[in-house]
């Protein structure tokens, strides 16, 4: 299955999350085989990310969005973790600080965009400003409704500077979310992730679905696509995200740069030094 085309939101197309099965695994029904595929994809991804860092011509921005317990941290750990930290950064966007609130909503985001040769992962992103602020009426509709076009303009500027953008919405069911909350409650190593807001936010589930549907529809473009990833099965989520990232890196035609020094001369000096008496 070509996950890139299967889960990509076509530009301008309507999005109905209720029509997309969070439990979908496509043709990959065997978890063990899928895990093996994912490991192979991650090895290739690691090599291409190394070349991206060395070539210094392109950059990659990955945006992860999901409802609570949707799997953003899991993707970072199990997929992005394959990359060399020297050329990869993870940025988490929490509630804006008092300083950030005195600026345009994109100010704090622009400061974190990747430089050439770098991969940056946004754990939550600028899309919070058309999701959470909309659901909870944190700013007037007249303000947040303008932000879709501002986001598209912002992403076009990044693309013009050879930053490639992938945006993943990790789509889980309400039942799976509750199951994951329960698992956190029962695991002392993960209880720190639980808050009362996790449960109260469930009351806004339909509002979040509507907010995401509009954001996905209005901000998925040919150059900066949104992908809706079925995420009830963590192993399939990781497989799909890995394949899409790898396919994107392969399309860039990244090449290992030529040496900037005379390799033959350095080899001669090495052999001379090795042959010299100690």
Question: Distance (Å, rounded) from C-alpha 180 to C-alpha 183?
Answer: 5
**Structural tokens at position 233:** 């099965």
* Residue 262 pLDDT greater than 80, yes or no: no
Task: Mention every residue, 6+ apart, whose C-beta is less than 8 A from residue 37.
Answer: 28, 239
41-81: per-residue pLDDT in tens? 999 999 999 999 999 999 999 999 999 999 999 999 999 99
Could you tell me the pLDDT band of residue 251, with boundaries at 50, 70 and 90?
Answer: very high
**Structural tokens at position 137:** 């009426």
* Residue 198 pLDDT greater than 90, yes or no: no
The answer to whether the CB of 217 falls within 8 A of the CB of 15 is yes
The answer to whether the CB of 127 falls within 8 A of the CB of 65 is yes
The predicted pLDDT at position 257 comes to 81
Q: What are residue 92's phi and psi, to 5 degrees?
A: -105, 130
The predicted pLDDT at position 151 comes to 98
Per DSSP, 222 falls in state S
3-19: per-residue pLDDT in tens? 999 999 999 888 999 99
Q: Can you give the chain as a three-state secondary structure string?
A: CCHHHHHECCCCCCCCHHHCCCCCCCCCCCHHHHHHHHHHHHHHHHHHHHHHHHHCCCEEEEEEEECCCCCHHHHHHHCHHHCCHHHEEEEECCCCCHHHHCCCCCHHHHCCCCCCCCEEEEECCHHHHHCHHHHCCCCCHHHHCCHHHHHHHHHHHHHHCCEEEEEEEEECCHHHHHHHHHHHHHCCCCHHHCCHHHHHHHHHHHHHHHHHHHHHHHHCCCCCCEEEEECCCHHHHHHHHHHHHHHHHHHCCCCCCCCCCCHHHHHHHHHHHHHCCC
**Which of 25-39, 115-129, 254-268 shows the lowest mean pLDDT across its residues?**
254-268
Largest CA distance in the chain: 79
The predicted pLDDT at position 122 comes to 98
* Residue 238 pLDDT greater than 90, yes or no: yes
Domain total of the chain:
1
Query: Which pTM does this prediction carry?
Result: 0.93
Share of the chain above pLDDT 90, in %: 82
Taking residues 253-266, report their average pLDDT: 79
160-197: per-residue pLDDT in tens? 999 999 999 999 999 999 999 999 999 998 888 888 88
The predicted pLDDT at position 264 comes to 78
CATH number assigned to the domain comprising residue 23: 3.40.50.300
Q: Which domain holds residue 31?
A: 3-275
The predicted pLDDT at position 237 comes to 97
Pick from 29, 9, 25: nearest CA to 17:
9
Could you tell me the pLDDT band of residue 246, with boundaries at 50, 70 and 90?
Answer: very high
Per DSSP, 114 falls in state P
Could you tell me the pLDDT band of residue 277, with boundaries at 50, 70 and 90?
Answer: confident
Taking residues 112-122, report their average pLDDT: 98
77-109: per-residue pLDDT in tens? 999 999 999 999 999 998 899 999 999 999 999
**Structural tokens at position 224:** 């900066």
* Residue 158 pLDDT greater than 80, yes or no: yes
For residue 102, what are the β-bridge partners? none
């Amino acid at each position: 299955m070509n996950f890139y085309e299967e889960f990509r939101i076509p530009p301008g197309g309507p999005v109905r999350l209720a029509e997309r099965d969070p439990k979908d695994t496509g043709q990959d029904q065997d978890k063990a085989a899928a895990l093996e595929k994912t490991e192979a994809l991650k090895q290739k991804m690691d090599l291409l990310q190394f070349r991206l860092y060395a070539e210094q011509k392109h950059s990659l921005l990955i945006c992860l969005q999901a409802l609570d317990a949707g799997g953003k941290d899991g993707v970072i750990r199990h997929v992005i973790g394959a990359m060399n930290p020297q050329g990869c950064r993870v940025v988490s966007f929490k509630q804006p600080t008092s300083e950030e609130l005195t600026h345009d909503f994109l100010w704090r985001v622009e400061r974190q965009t990747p430089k050439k040769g770098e991969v940056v992962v946004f754990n939550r992103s600028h899309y919070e400003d058309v999701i959470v602020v909309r659901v909870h009426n944190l700013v007037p509709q007249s303000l947040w409704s303008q932000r879709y076009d501002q986001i598209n303009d912002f992403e076009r500027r990044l693309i013009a500077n050879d930053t490639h953008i992938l945006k993943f919405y990790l789509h889980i069911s309400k039942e799976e979310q509750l199951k994951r909350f329960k698992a956190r409650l029962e695991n002392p190593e993960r209880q720190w992730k639980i808050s009362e807001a996790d449960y109260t936010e469930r009351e806004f589930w339909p509002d979040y679905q509507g907010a995401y549907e509009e954001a996905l529809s209005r901000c998925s473009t040919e150059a900066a696509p949104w992908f809706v990833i079925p995420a009830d099965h963590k192993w399939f989520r990781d497989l799909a995200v890995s394949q899409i990232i790898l396919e994107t890196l392969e399309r860039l035609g990244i090449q290992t740069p030529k040496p900037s020094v005379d390799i033959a001369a350095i080899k001669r000096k090495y052999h001379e030094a090795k042959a010299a008496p100690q």
